[in-house]
Amino acid sequence: MIEPSGTSVRDDVAGDVQASLADRAAVARDPREPRILNDEAASIRERAVEEAIGEERAAERARGVARGSQFLDYAFFLLYTLLVTRFVLVLIGARATAGFVKLIATLSNPFFAPFRDIVDSPEVGTGHFSMPIVIALFAYMMLHLVINRLLRTVTQRRTQV
């Protein structure tokens, strides 16, 4: 949960200022001074409430973006799982006619298609080392990283004192 960083400090300062104003009002010699001090105290309270509301709204936005980021991470996890499974099946030379191999190929084809035949795949034992799948994994990891950094940049709040 995101906590507003300056709330307790601001509350302490506002409380100290109000206490100081109240002490000054008690010993005031000018009959207008208590009214002026009360107006200042009210102004300080109003600003503190406005800042707290603003911070709460920012925290709500950050929580929403964090939830979206969690869904994004899960979607990329599923994509990585599909591509790694496809990579392992190709590496061990699994039969393309097997049902599970067909399922993985069908599910991963939309994500693998842009990388197919990008480079040649060297032969390894009975199968071959599929470089296009490795390149696809790397490209999707970079995309995932960029999106997460962008979301983090959007949600970071500036600290004010």
pLDDT of residue 27: 58
How much is the pTM?
Answer: 0.61
13 inside domain: yes
1 inside domain: no
pLDDT of residue 35: 77
Whether 111 contacts 79, CB under 8 Å:
yes
55 inside domain: yes
Domain range for 136 is 7-155
pLDDT in tens, 124-153: 555 567 889 999 999 999 999 999 998 888
Which whole-number Å values give the CA distances from 97 to 31, 93, 100, in the listed order?
A: 96, 12, 9
161 inside domain: no
What's the total number of domains in the chain? 1
160 inside domain: no
